[in-house]
Amino acid sequence: MMGAIWYWIVAAMLVAYVVLDGFDIGAGIVQLFISESEDDRQMVLRSIGPVWDGNEVWLIAGGGTLYFAFPLLYASAFSGFYLPLMIVLWLLILRGLGIELRMHVNLLVWREFFDGCFAFSSALLAIFFGAALANVIRGVPIGDDNFFFLPLWTNWRVGPNPGILDWYTVIGGFLALVALAVHGSLYVALKVERPLHDRAVRFARLLWPALVALTVVSLVATIAIRSSTLGNYTRYPVAFVIPLGVLASLAGILIYCRSERVKQAFQCSCAYLTLMLVGAAVGLYPALLPSSTDPARDITIAKALSGRYALSVGLIWWGLGILIAIGYFVFVYRMFSGKVRVEAGEGY
């Protein structure tokens, strides 16, 4: 029981990170595509304003919770995925530099360089996060000592000893790229005035067919390479509500974009990301990190769980901490509600 509680706590925190920091990353991906002037680029940055760095707290909190509740998984995954984790760390740093340093020097080439850093790091972050989730779903070659090593790529095939990048994880990376680009476009449209608003909505509609196609392809590919993910769905048929919800949220994005109801379209995008991640968590449960060589080597909840006393006490402190965090986010988002504008001579 305690293991299931902490499994879904970690899953919920990762969902919060993807939904909240996802629109920040998405804004970076689409900034250069929807902006036609310096003011446009500043408005994209101001749309994520004081919330972008706060949203990253959920990634840190999720990692800390994972370490506390499932230390074996933390040790195994952070050693096996050492190279991509270092790449992600540097991309997060580069993205922060792109946002914070662009206005420090009043030169066009300076601002364009850091706009490029913001866009480049945001796009690669989306791809690496999507590929990381695909690696977890596909499985990794866990050894008898519960550790593993993955090269960046091998022969691009899915097998007992794959690389971090193969045809399946690349699909996951591009799905994350397109999904977060749509998510970011809709958030920017929600926060800015016309004509930038219209270009952001148009860009989301342009990407919608690719999002639908990649979603279908990824689901089919997941069933093809790991049919065991359907086990919990067939055991509990009510879980099929999740893929139906994914399809409904995709339809809602297009319908609300066409009717200029951007708030509802953004809410559908939030629902899409949430349901896709919850669907993956349901498919994996109770495995935390599947093995690509032998199911007996899967790192499961029972194998990785911390001591019961620590988890019971930790649940109390986690509850207090999360209430403070939620209160802070409610305050910040209420203070930051409404449209953003760029006044003459004013930067981010």
Parse the chain into domains and list their residue ranges: 2-234+284-335
pLDDT value for 308: 87
Q: What is the DSSP string of 173-201?
A: HHHHHHHHHHHHHHHHHHHS-TTHHHHHH
Pairwise CA distance, residues 132 & 60, whole Å: 16
pTM of the model: 0.92
d(CA 185, CA 204): 6
Contact (CB, 8 A) for 250 and 272: yes
Residue 183: what pLDDT?
96
> pLDDT value at position 344?
42
- Residue in 48, 65, 54 with CA at minimum distance from that of residue 14: 65
The per-residue pLDDT for 348 is 54
State how far the Cα of 329 lies from the Cα of 323, in Å rounded to an integer. 10
Q: Where are the alpha helices (DSSP H) in the chain?
A: 2-34, 38-48, 52-55, 57-69, 71-80, 82-101, 108-138, 167-191, 196-225, 231-235, 241-258, 262-284, 301-304, 308-335
Q: Which residues contact 155 (CB under 8 A, 6 or more apart)?
A: 163, 166
Count of C-beta atoms within a 10 Å radius of residue 217 = 13
The rounded distance, in Å, linking the Cα atoms of 121 and 317 is: 35
Task: Provide the angle, in degrees to the nearest 10, between the axes of the packed helices 167-191 and 196-225.
Answer: 150
Closest CA to 314 of 9, 7, 68, 11: 68
Cis before 71 (ω within 30): no
Spatial distance between the Cα atoms of 223 and 234, rounded to a whole number of angstroms: 13
Structure confidence at residue 229 (pLDDT): 86
Task: Kindly list the averaged pLDDT for each block of 10 residues, start to end, along the chain of length 348.
Answer: 90 93 92 86 86 85 90 88 88 89 82 90 94 92 86 81 89 96 94 89 95 95 89 90 95 93 94 95 92 87 89 90 88 82 56
